[in-house]
Amino acid sequence: MSDVLHKLVSLVLTGALIGLVGWLSVTVRKKKVAKAEAAAPAPVEDRSQALLRQAQQFDRSRDEMAAQGRLAEAMTHAHAAAQHWHELTQARPGRFQAEERAALKRLSELETAGHA
C-alpha cells in the first residue's frame, strides 16, 4: 500500500511541477513579447497612404466649403484634392482613376459656378 501511495504522490508532484514550469514559461514569453511590441517603432505611413488620407480630407473640406457658399475656399480645396488624386494615380498606376475624374469634375463644376 505504501508503494502505491508513494507512486501516486510522485505522479501528482511531477504533474504539478511540469504544469508550473509550463505556466512560468508561457508567462515569461508573454512578457517578453509585450515588451518587444512596446519597444517596436510605430509603423511608418508610406507616401501613398498619406496622399490618400490628404486627398480624402481635401474632398471633404471642398464639399463643406461649397455647402457653406464659400466658393473661393472650396475651389482651393478642390484644386488640392485633384492634385493629390493625380499624384495617387501616378504612385499607384491603374488605381484611383475614378476618384481623380470625380475630383476634376467637381473642380470644373465649382469653376463654372464661380463664373456664373
The residue extents of the domains of the chain are: 1-40, 47-115
Q: What is the pLDDT of residue 35?
A: 85
In the numeric block, which cell numbers belong to residue 11? 505522479
86 pLDDT exceeds 80?
yes
How big is the CA angle at 66 (ends 77 and 59), to the nearest 5 degrees? 40
CATH topology of domain 47-115: Methane Monooxygenase Hydroxylase; Chain G, domain 1 (1.20.58)
**Region 91-108 average pLDDT:** 94
Q: What is the pLDDT of residue 33?
A: 86
How big is the CA angle at 87 (ends 106 and 95), to the nearest 5 degrees? 80
Length of the chain in residues, anyone?
116
Secondary structure letter of residue 93 according to DSSP: T
Residue pair 29/22 in contact (Cβ under 8 Å)? The answer is: no
**pLDDT tens, position by position, 34-79:** 888 888 777 777 888 999 999 999 999 999 999 999 999 999 999 9
- Reported pTM: 0.61
Beta strands in the chain (DSSP E): none
Position 116 confidence tier, pLDDT thresholds 50, 70, 90: low
In the numeric block, which cell numbers belong to residue 9? 504522490
In the numeric block, which cell numbers belong to residue 86? 493625380
